[in-house]
Amino acid sequence: MSGLFDLSGRRAFVTGANTGIGQAIALSLGEAGAQVICAGRSSMAGTLAKLKEAGATGFECLTDFADKDAAIKAFERAAETHGPIDILVNNAGIIRRADALDFTEADWDDVMDVNLKSVFFLCQTFARPILNSKAEGTIINIASMLSFQGGIRVASYTASKSGIAGLTKLLACEWAGKGINVNAIAPGYISTNNTEALRADQQRNDDILKRIPAGRWGEASDIGGAAVFLSSKAARYVHGAVIPVDGGWLAR
């Protein structure tokens, strides 16, 4: 049974892998046997150290996903340097907060460029050689609870994550029969650097925990496990799914 989740011989490109959910996904894929190219704007030293400690192989790829052309070139260079990539995890993302009436065009464009535009064109760049060679591959997009809900004061983030859900389904419809599995993970409230302020606010922390049936914040490794599943043979007939890993948040 364990062979279903063995990723030996696979090569993954994980964006936003320097910390938090991206780091946990990179580590989980590495522990399952994949070579992992860790991509993002910041140093990947911490992630590479964790991969090495786990006996896994990792590489650094520095690029800014706000520039889709730079992102594409970085992916292409990584494939040329390390070999064909058959797992793509689109995790890199940013957020801007303001009331809808005060939301600026710059805050709209900045978020959409990273969270949706670069994601689409990375998927396109990833898929082209796989489809041309009739090989197989896996795309995992990182969605959000705001792929299902509206939220407040995060107009472009909500739009981008709703877009990720739709894009995941569209690409699955086009590529499921051609050897590429396209799915998404929608994390719930996860204990990372990005949620530190929420957890430090006692009232908000308590309100959030009351809504989570599991009674706790998620760990980044919870998302890593889902990524291993979606990358593995166990998920070969899973296409176009947006899988909540949320402790039951959406069920309440």
What are the strands, taking DSSP E only, across the chain?
A: 11-15, 35-40, 58-62, 87-90, 137-142, 180-187, 242-245
Q: Which residue in 95, 84, 80 sits closest to 16, CA to CA?
A: 95
Tell me if 244 sits within 8 A of 189, measured CB to CB: no
Instruction: Please tell me the distance from the alpha carbon of residue 199 to that of residue 123, in angstroms, as a whole number.
Output: 34
Catalytic residue among 157, 175, 189, 249: 157
> Number of helices and strands (H, E) in the chain?
9, 7
* Tokens (6 digits) for 219: 């760990």
* Tokens (6 digits) for 222: 């919870």
Q: Which long-range contacts (CB under 8 A, 24 or more apart) does 217-220 make?
A: 217/189, 217/190, 217/191, 217/247, 218/187, 218/188, 218/189, 218/190, 218/191, 218/245, 218/246, 218/247, 219/24, 219/190, 219/191, 220/20, 220/21, 220/23, 220/24, 220/190, 220/191, 220/192
Which three-class secondary structure state does DSSP give residue 119? Answer: helix
Tell me if 183 sits within 8 A of 243, measured CB to CB: yes
* Cβ contacts of 8 within 8 Å, gap of 6 or more: 33, 34
- Is residue 157 part of the annotated active site? The answer reads yes
Known catalytic residues are: 157
